[in-house]
A and B are shown apart, each in its own frame.
Chain A
Amino acid sequence: MRRRSNNLLTKISWSTIMIWLLLMIIGLVCVYASGFNEEHPRFFDARNHSRLQTIWVGMACIIAVFVVVIESRFYHLFAGFLYFLALLLIVATLIFGHEINGSKSWLSFGFMSLQPVEFMKVATALMLAKVAGAHSFRMQSARSAIPAFAVILLPFALTLLQHDTGSALVFTSFIIVLYRAGLKARFVVSCLFLVFLFILSLLVEPATVTIFIGLLCCCLFMISSRRYKACFTAIGIIAAITLTLHFGLRPLDADLPLFESLIVAHAVMLPVIVIYAWRRKLRYVAAFVVPLFVVSVGINYSVDYVFDNVLKEHQRRRINDLLGIESDLKGWGYNVHQSKVAIGSGGILGKGFLEGTQTKGNFVPEQTTDFIFCTVGEEWGFLGAVVVVGLYLILLIRIVNIAERQKSTFAKLYGYGVAAIFFFHIAVNIGMTIGIMPVVGIPLPFISYGGSSLWAFTILLFVLLKLDVGKYE
């Protein structure tokens, strides 16, 4: 017993703990500053968020101790149990939870409220690591891949049911874990490409997007097959058919729009290309480029439908606002605009502690929780923002390094899960405050005000640190 705790104290990654403490202190300072009121300036005044946040931080430290004291095998053994417990909590929340800001994600225990989804993230990271870390696990085989995806999709779907889109999207970040576990790069790139395509389709005319996709597919075809002549011939024929249809039919009083002409041209050429590729044994074209093209055009065509019918009004607006399609600085675009104003007015060195005019004037909504980064940007300026972003980057890199030095695949993949969750929170949260991400309500790890998220992030991190210590046993 004595030997072990000695081992724990010497082997644990103190540098990571220092970053964790530093971020929490920054959090306390910013929570205090963003809720600062001259009428009750004391840090521990009962009316100030800083008082409660101090208690949350204290409890986080106690929780951290608990987490590292527990036997490290526990996390591997009980991953499944914890995962289902968390799922149960989410379901319970769906039934008994109360709604805050339109999403039903809070579970009240009388003396305090919890957000089970925060702990779901920890449980999912553990469960996914356990599933994908099994000896028999092969990413390429469906028998392995389907359970792994299911582990991610289950909490994702349940969280969506809570109308907590932001938290649900966090689970998509586990694709990083799967990537590390062997998911084909092509798949990841395709996913990123589809997101890119979605945004492009909202911004640009469908015909333009189709031409873009067509050209991209031809380039892929050219690069992979080196058949430049055939490729240019295909482009030429498609262009000729399109132009003939678009302009040639005009004398006959049959006006076909450019987009429809393109579709027809592609539809005509597609079987020709497939047959050509089949004959020449160009499997790559048949198996990847053509499906990619069909799916892309399909998405391109259906984006407007999805956008108008599947997404909710506020989500559409957030995306439109982000893409600069339309905005309303006084109405629904107000939050992001004020957030940008607060951060943008900070300048290089910031306005100084408690000197932020925008945050003091309550111009930024949710400024102690989701928009806490405004206080960093306004009062500490670009320099402060560099420090915070830098600390996060160091933390992420440290986590990845810790993950990589694990002997067990479970611990390794768990480490990537931690990195993925932190990365998603950091990138999306800071991104939304500076207007490069849509507004989704997720906290900034260790800095945002709130108990549930702080504890969940602490558990997430310290389980990894414990596993890191345990690897020597």
Chain B
Amino acid sequence: MNEFANRKVYIIAFFVLAGVVILGRLFYIQVIDSYYKRMADQNVMRYEIQYPARGLIYDRNGKLLVGNQTVYDIVVIPRELAAFDTATLSQVLEISPEQIQATLYAIKSKAKKTAAYQPALFRRHVSTEAFALLQEKWFKFPGFYSQARSIRSYPRRVAGNLIGYIGEVDTTSIAADPFYTQGSYIGKIGVEYSYEKALRGKRGVSIYMRDVYNRVKNSYANGRLDTAALPGDNIVCTIDATLQEYGERLMQNKAGSIVAIEPATGEILTLVSTPNFDPELFIDVHRAAERNALSTDPMKPLFNRAVMAQYPPGSIFKCINALIGLQEGTVSEHTTYSCQGGYSVGRRYVGCHYHFSPTNLPQSLQVSCNTYYCHVFRGIIDKYNDPRKGLNIWRRHIESFGIGRKLNSDIPNELRGILPTTATYDRMHGENRWKSPTIISLAIGQGELGVTPLHMANIAATIANRGFYYTPHIVKSIRGERPDSSFLVPHATTVNSSHFEPVVQGMYLAVNGDFGGTARIARIQGVEVCGKTGTAQNPHGEHHSVFICFAPKDDPRIAVAVYVENGGAGAKWAAPTASLIVEKYLTKNISRTWLESYVMDANLMPHNHAQTKQ
């Protein structure tokens, strides 16, 4: 056998060869190929997003409008479930034991081998109080865990459709912005929507190590790669919470809107749209039915009438026609027209109510004389002997008040309103087949006109400022800074400020005139209120009650527009409501409690169908 001794060499060579192959392969997968390192990271790293607390929203006086609260999602890990105290759980969570069993059964049957280690949602949004009760006896519930979650809280429950709400993000938003992932929240309407970027904050991420069952073991690299969540910026609104709350109470059981603006800044003090909704509906997961009912409600509570409803302005438009007439020189402060209960031209007739006659310009506003404004309007349109040119010039003046275009406020979904062009009338009547009498409805704010309550309030503010306005806005500051410098730029109208005094005088007389003033109900002891009523004709039913005003006359601090759908004459509901708002804001006190209860107790809601004009 010793003749085979040299075979030792071959055998050792074979061993060494195998060793070299193994080491070569090890060198390749450990040192050269990075694929396995990536796979390893993919195996063990779990990125857990740290959701920042959303920014808070305050009113102009620092009162909290929207806060955050912590609620708890109760989750179960199916693998760890054991017998537990069903009675206590049922009592605290207010669900029946049968329901508990059914939920657990559904979770268990869904969880397969590995999913049995994954937490499954058992109950969403358990309040802190209920959770505290559970926590004392937590040991009685093996396999149950909790996840804290920050949701919105609404300490005042006001301005639902102004502030808006947050909800789960939809697929288009996920595709558009990598910030959002399935299940994250986003502002849907209102301030929550327009200031989403500021409010949402910056997400953080914690990287955890997990095991093969997806159980978290510990943090990766001792948390060196983790980033903290930055809370969202706090927002201070221009809204006065007290006034807003008061406005909502005044408007209860009525469809319509109140918009109050601080003329000197364009800051919106109050923006009421009714019917409203309770913002709490959007945070309470157990009130889904009520929430869903909102979108099918014929009165459209989710619809922000203040910026999205385009109404005929009615007689409040006379103020603007007066201003344009003065600017164009077709009428002066002292021009008088007599009124015999109506204005008739050709086949057209515009009726007027009974009042003293003749009137000069301020008096015409005081009594809201239709005849006077038919004269004024025809004067403007016919000034150039060409109704097309006349209409275009009239239109340009109107636009300078922000009407017929978006005001570019920070309220989402703001509508531009309706303002007719020559093309509108060419389409309606045929080219060049219309003249000033054809479009005479525009004289009194009827016809092819649509303005939003925000536009109306802006008109009031512009008159109060005697010729300019600041873009109305609802956010005063974000983290102490002005959100948009464009809000600081005054927008001048095409009407010289000197022409405003007679109109202001007329509006003053409408409220404070000795007799014949249409808005005497809006008079406030010790406050010089200037206002103008409007009664917008509504082909579908009762007229809409409209009123704009500002006060005090010489140092305006508030401009208000009120629109009450189907409220009848402007003096009936809109004027008292606006007047109460002004009084509440300027004096912090209501002297006319009878008027207050008169407005609050009124119920003008239709019982069968909606009559909202959009």
Residues of the A chain whose Cβ atoms lie less than 8 Å from the Cβ of B18: 423, 427
- In contact, A340 and B29 (Cβ under 8 angstroms): yes
CB distance from B25 to the nearest CB of A (A): 5
Given the known interface contacts A179-B11, A341-B43, A362-B211, the answer about A382 and B31 at a Cβ–Cβ threshold of 8 Å is yes
- In contact, B44 and A358 (Cβ under 8 angstroms): yes
- In contact, B21 and A358 (Cβ under 8 angstroms): no
- In contact, A344 and B15 (Cβ under 8 angstroms): no
Instruction: Identify A360's interface contact among B8, B12, B22, B209, CB under 8 A.
Output: B209
Q: Residue A38 at the B interface, CB < 8 A? A: yes
- In contact, B43 and A343 (Cβ under 8 angstroms): no
Contact with B along A396-413 (1 / 0, CB 8 A): 110010001000010010
Q: Main secondary structure on chain B at its contact with chain A? A: helix
Residues of the B chain whose Cβ atoms lie less than 8 Å from the Cβ of A297: none
Given the known interface contacts A182-B1, A360-B211, A436-B25, the answer about A392 and B19 at a Cβ–Cβ threshold of 8 Å is yes
Contact with A along B2-41 (1 / 0, CB 8 A): 0111011001100110110111011101110101110111
- In contact, A434 and B44 (Cβ under 8 angstroms): no
Per the bound structure, the CA–CA distance linking A337 and B40 in Å amounts to 11
A355-409, CB < 8 A from B? 357-358, 360-363, 377, 381-382, 385-386, 389-390, 392-393, 396-397, 400, 404, 409
Residues of the A chain whose Cβ atoms lie less than 8 Å from the Cβ of B4: 180-182
Instruction: Identify A341's interface contact among B39, B217, B218, CB under 8 A.
Output: B39
Per the bound structure, the CA–CA distance linking A179 and B21 in Å amounts to 22
- Cβ-Cβ contact count across A and B, 8 Å cutoff: 122
Given the known interface contacts A347-B37, A357-B40, the answer about A389 and B23 at a Cβ–Cβ threshold of 8 Å is yes
- In contact, B22 and A430 (Cβ under 8 angstroms): yes
Which one of B25, B213, B218 has the greatest number of beta carbons of chain A within 10 Å? B25
Per the bound structure, the CA–CA distance linking A213 and B522 in Å amounts to 111
- In contact, A404 and B211 (Cβ under 8 angstroms): no
Per the bound structure, the CA–CA distance linking A363 and B215 in Å amounts to 12
- In contact, B7 and A427 (Cβ under 8 angstroms): no
- In contact, A357 and B44 (Cβ under 8 angstroms): yes
Per the bound structure, the CA–CA distance linking A381 and B27 in Å amounts to 10
Contact with A along B333-344 (1 / 0, CB 8 A): 000000000000
- In contact, B11 and A377 (Cβ under 8 angstroms): no
Q: Residue A165 at the B interface, CB < 8 A? A: no
- In contact, A386 and B31 (Cβ under 8 angstroms): no
Q: Residue B210 at the A interface, CB < 8 A? A: yes
Instruction: Identify A38's interface contact among B19, B41, B43, B218, CB under 8 A.
Output: B218
Given the known interface contacts A180-B8, A409-B1, the answer about A389 and B19 at a Cβ–Cβ threshold of 8 Å is yes
Residue of B nearest to A412 (CB): B1
Contact with B along A169-188 (1 / 0, CB 8 A): 00000001001111000000
Q: Residue B212 at the A interface, CB < 8 A? A: yes
Given the known interface contacts A341-B43, A348-B31, A404-B5, the answer about A385 and B25 at a Cβ–Cβ threshold of 8 Å is no
Can you list 30 A-B pairs, Cβ within 8 angstroms, ordered by A?
A137-B1, A176-B11, A179-B7, A180-B4, A181-B4, A182-B1, A340-B36, A341-B43, A343-B30, A344-B40, A345-B41, A346-B30, A347-B30, A347-B31, A348-B31, A361-B210, A361-B217, A362-B212, A363-B44, A381-B30, A382-B30, A386-B23, A386-B26, A389-B26, A400-B8, A400-B11, A404-B8, A416-B11, A419-B11, A435-B29
Nearest 5 pairs of A and B residues by beta carbon: A344-B36, A345-B40, A361-B211, A344-B29, A382-B30
Other A-B pairs, 7, CB within 8 Å; known A348-B31, A361-B43, A386-B26: A341-B43, A360-B217, A361-B44, A389-B19, A396-B15, A427-B22, A434-B29
Residues on B lying within 8 angstroms of A by beta carbon are 1, 3-5, 7-8, 11-12, 15-16, 18-19, 21-23, 25-27, 29-31, 33, 35-37, 39-41, 43-44, 209-213, 217-218
Residues on A lying within 8 angstroms of B by beta carbon are 38, 137, 176, 179-182, 337-338, 340-348, 357-358, 360-363, 377, 381-382, 385-386, 389-390, 392-393, 396-397, 400, 404, 409, 412, 416, 419, 423, 427, 430-431, 434-436
